[in-house]
Chains A and B, each alone.
Chain A
Amino acid sequence: MSQSMNRRAMRAGSAAVAALLAIGLTSCAATSNGATSADGGSSGDGAGSGEKVTIKFAWWGSDSRVASTQQIIDAFEAENPDIHVEPVSTSWDDYFEKMNVMAAGNDLPDVMTQDDRYLTEYASRGLLADLASLDVDTSKVDQSVVDTGKIDDTLYGIATGVNVHAVVADPAVFEQAGVALPDDTTWTWEDYSDIAAQITAATGGSAYGVQNYSFIEPVLAIYARQHGEEIFTKDGAIGVSPETIESWFQRTVDQIASQAEPSAETATEIQGAGVDGSLPSTNKGAMAWFWSNQLSAIEKSAGRPLTLLRAPGDSEFERTGEYLRAAMYYAVSAKSEHPAEAAKFVDFMLNSQTAGDINLTDRGLPANLEVREAILPKLSDADKTSAAFIESLTDDGTFADSKPVPPKGSGEVSDITGRINSDVIFGKITPADAAQRWIDEVNKAIGQ
């Protein structure tokens, strides 16, 4: 008779145990409230003069960003010996889950990095402070970039740096296929699809023309802007027409058929593999859409120089589509007990050359134009490429206006887009049905 058997059997069988196990389920949904209240108020120590003030700073990011951010904190503390900055960091995947739970426990960090998908979510619930009323200098930041952090004319977030969504292209694959790199100031969406199909055909399938673009929504945002629309209007309603969404999904379907891009299964697998597993990262494709600051990571994986192309179709419809996106924002909690110190820290992150030299382009190409200018020589080749790319688009006025901050609930748009795209590429729904479902589900998410 085995011992483990006896013990198991003793516990076992009883309906009471079964019920308890089952009931244990519900607690997983509820542990969030109150779980964090235990350590609440730890930042409230020592507000009196001469005593050391502690503020919390939360950010997401990889190990290298943890190390570099700590350097910045050290430099800040050296300049401000009466302020102690307590770091709170997680990976991107867990970040907003953690922030949501902290907000629920009334324990938001004094300073946090924010993402545009959640900025309205937090601001509309009164969780974020008006930065214009605090002592943060934004005079060195381009006004259109400052505006990306404004909701109803209140400044809730200051852009850390900027990104632009663009086509990462691998010249080596173009050469291998015998296809010339397109003139990206004039190319149309048809050119884009044709070139991609040619490359797959010419390389015999060892490299694909382009990676599927419709798992996430930034390309739709560009495409909508080219048609004079916005995914979300300034009033927070959907501004993109079903026809635009339909033709956007239709291109995916057509490109799978023409083998310009991988099959549904392969596309799903590549998407799941993230930046490191993308087509250009693995030398298996000529083009893929990414944020400009991801170029250096992709180039590192690829092991050869890559370049950036503008979105196709900028001269095809009503206007240009690209927009500057805040890579992330610095935001201050409305309930911070030390707003002045929090503002001082934000100002240091934004405006000091010391912080800029450590950050480089890790939080996007610096929003502060003087800091940006000064770090340019220190950048890697890939970062220089993306900096020059942003500069050339800025110079010829491609970023005609800033994209409105998305409304509350827009954090779900990526997931919705990805889900619907799966159904489209596996042929479960038509692009027309996909467009309607996208509008219905996004409306539900933003509570319209």
Chain B
Amino acid sequence: MSAISELRTLSTKRRGPRPTAVTNLRKSDGRAAAVFLAPWFLGLFAITLFPLGASAYLSFTRYDMLSAPQWVGLQNFVDMVHDPRLLQSLRVTFTYVVTGVPLQLVAALAIAVLLNQGMRGLAFYRSVVYLPSLMGGSVAIAILWRQVFGEDGLVNKALGVFGIEGMGWVSNPDTALWTIVLLHVWTFGSPMVIFLAGLRQIPDMYYEAAQLDGASKWRQFRSVTLPLLSPIIFFNLVMQVITAFQAFTQAYVVSGGTGGPSDSTLFYTLYLYQEGFQNLRMGYASAMAWVLVLIVLAMTGANFLLSKFWVFYED
């Protein structure tokens, strides 16, 4: 089954008869499947569902971890409305998501189109451009980022060659967030690989027909590539938005865990962490976590609704 059609069955309401082979398989191998799934279920209950339930309960309590939680009803959620740092963290996170994700997808698509020109050694180049994504979430790269954008860093050295006087990009509240957005854009590898696979699914005949009609490269990209790729773009968008809302490591390391300077890199998750583990307000942090879940769900729902207007399913 091709990737595009698979996505289609998963993400649209089209219902068709499932292939009978799957039905037969399920009957005969049901018990084996249960056995193989058991470890996963165990993990699901012990590591995911139990903490999930606990945090749901804690979100209605005042809990400092050192003494028993006290039920406070909706107080945590009321407090959030009046918490200026929470609003700041939302501002930071939304700025990051709204700028970082589209920029990253554009970069990923551009590189994927470039790599799809039928060049030799594609596997090698694909690996090379994927490399940043493997490292991007790591602590080492975040530390490197601090150095590169520091006052005596590589960026300022490069600017110095052109006679431009640089600044402390990471230590200036007006630019610190953008260095992290850039770090996010740089880790375009995983959407890029998905784009690349999607591009190779587009039948050549469309391009041939377009060429016969005299369409330019750009016109071919707009009228053939983009519509046929739109389900993949949609998938990448949904996944990257969810990932971006959870960004933590980069902000934690680049700001030294403070979200500074001047709270300019105070990501939602970072503030959640500070409140829970540093300021001993685990109840409040749990409430924050649940609000984030609602935000991410709402954003994902909105994405699915809006997809009607721009995602094109072939046939």
A residues apposed to B, CB below 8 Å: 1-2, 4-6, 8-10, 12-15, 18-19, 21-34, 93, 96-97, 100-101, 103-104, 121-122, 125, 127, 264-266, 268-269, 272, 411-412, 415, 418-419, 422-423, 426, 428, 445
A100 interface neighbour in B66, B167, B304, Cβ under 8 Å: B66
Cβ B257 vs Cβ A93 within 8 A:
yes
Cβ B261 vs Cβ A412 within 8 A:
no
A-B pairs with beta carbons under 8 Å apart, 12 shown: A5-B196, A22-B300, A23-B52, A25-B293, A30-B289, A33-B58, A96-B278, A265-B172, A268-B261, A418-B258, A422-B263, A423-B262
B129 interfacial contact with A, CB 8 Å: no
B63 to chain A, nearest CB (A): 8
Residues in A neighbouring B141, C-beta threshold 8 A: none
A422 interface neighbour in B48, B257, B261, B279, Cβ under 8 Å: B261
Residues in A neighbouring B65, C-beta threshold 8 A: 32-33, 100-101, 103-104
B7 interfacial contact with A, CB 8 Å: yes
B230 interfacial contact with A, CB 8 Å: no
Cβ A9 vs Cβ B296 within 8 A:
no
A269 with B171, Cβ < 8 A, contacts A22-B296, A121-B66 known: yes
Binds A, one of B205-213, B217-225, B238-246: B238-246
Cβ A9 vs Cβ B7 within 8 A:
yes
Which are the 4 A-B pairs with shortest beta-carbon distances? A5-B197, A30-B55, A268-B171, A265-B168
A27 with B52, Cβ < 8 A, contacts A100-B277, A104-B65 known: yes
B100 interfacial contact with A, CB 8 Å: no
Residues in B neighbouring A2, C-beta threshold 8 A: 193, 196-197, 200
B160 interfacial contact with A, CB 8 Å: no
Cβ A19 vs Cβ B262 within 8 A:
no
B148 interfacial contact with A, CB 8 Å: no
A66 to chain B, nearest CB (A): 21
Cβ B277 vs Cβ A97 within 8 A:
yes
Binds A, one of B14-22, B25-33, B101-109, B280-288: B280-288
Residue from the set A2, A13, A104 with the largest chain B CB neighbour count within 10 Å: A13
Cβ A426 vs Cβ B261 within 8 A:
yes
A100 with B280, Cβ < 8 A, contacts A14-B10, A30-B55, A266-B168 known: yes
**Nearest CB in chain B to that of A27: its residue:** B51
B168 interface neighbour in A24, A104, A125, A269, Cβ under 8 Å: A269
**Nearest CB in chain B to that of A14: its residue:** B10
- Contact code string B45-68 (vs A, CB < 8 Å = 1, else 0): 001101110111010000011110
B260 interfacial contact with A, CB 8 Å: yes
Q: Is the interface of A mostly helix, strand, loop or mixed?
A: helix
With the chains together, A282 CA to B140 CA distance in Å? 23
**Nearest CB in chain B to that of A9: its residue:** B3
B6 interface neighbour in A10, A29, A127, A411, Cβ under 8 Å: A10
* Size of the chain B interface, CB-CB below 8 angstroms: 69
How many A-B pairs have beta carbons closer than 8 Å: the answer is 188
Residues in B neighbouring A428, C-beta threshold 8 A: 173, 262
**Nearest CB in chain A to that of B171: its residue:** A268
- Contact code string B181-216 (vs A, CB < 8 Å = 1, else 0): 000000000000110111011000000000000000
B272 interfacial contact with A, CB 8 Å: yes
With the chains together, A266 CA to B170 CA distance in Å? 10
B272 interface neighbour in A4, A6, A29, A125, Cβ under 8 Å: A29
Cβ B235 vs Cβ A445 within 8 A:
no
Residues in B neighbouring A412, C-beta threshold 8 A: 278-279
Residues in B neighbouring A265, C-beta threshold 8 A: 151, 167-168, 171-172
A419 with B47, Cβ < 8 A, contacts A19-B300, A33-B54, A93-B257 known: no
Cβ A127 vs Cβ B173 within 8 A:
no
A100 to chain B, nearest CB (A): 5
Cβ A422 vs Cβ B173 within 8 A:
yes
With the chains together, A419 CA to B279 CA distance in Å? 15
A224 to chain B, nearest CB (A): 23
B94 to chain A, nearest CB (A): 16
Residue from the set B50, B235, B262 with the largest chain A CB neighbour count within 10 Å: B262
- Contact code string B159-177 (vs A, CB < 8 Å = 1, else 0): 0000000011011110000
Residues in B neighbouring A100, C-beta threshold 8 A: 65-66, 277, 280
Residues in A neighbouring B197, C-beta threshold 8 A: 1-2, 4-6, 8-9
Residues in B neighbouring A96, C-beta threshold 8 A: 278
A49 to chain B, nearest CB (A): 34
A269 with B7, Cβ < 8 A, contacts A23-B52, A25-B289, A122-B66 known: no
A121 interface neighbour in B10, B172, B280, Cβ under 8 Å: B280
**Nearest CB in chain A to that of B193: its residue:** A4
With the chains together, A18 CA to B288 CA distance in Å? 19
A426 interface neighbour in B146, B262, B269, Cβ under 8 Å: B262
With the chains together, A264 CA to B170 CA distance in Å? 12
A415 with B258, Cβ < 8 A, contacts A1-B201, A18-B239, A29-B289 known: yes
Cβ B242 vs Cβ A21 within 8 A:
yes
A269 interface neighbour in B151, B245, B279, B288, Cβ under 8 Å: B151
With the chains together, A307 CA to B51 CA distance in Å? 52
- Given contacts A10-B6, A93-B257, A100-B66, 19 further A-B pairs with CB under 8 A are A1-B201, A8-B3, A12-B194, A13-B6, A19-B300, A26-B292, A27-B48, A30-B51, A30-B52, A30-B286, A32-B276, A32-B282, A34-B54, A265-B168, A269-B171, A272-B170, A272-B256, A412-B279, A423-B262
Residue from the set A22, A29, A34, A269 with the largest chain B CB neighbour count within 10 Å: A29
A336 to chain B, nearest CB (A): 16
Cβ B66 vs Cβ A29 within 8 A:
no
**Nearest CB in chain B to that of A100: its residue:** B65
B290 interfacial contact with A, CB 8 Å: yes
With the chains together, A1 CA to B11 CA distance in Å? 21
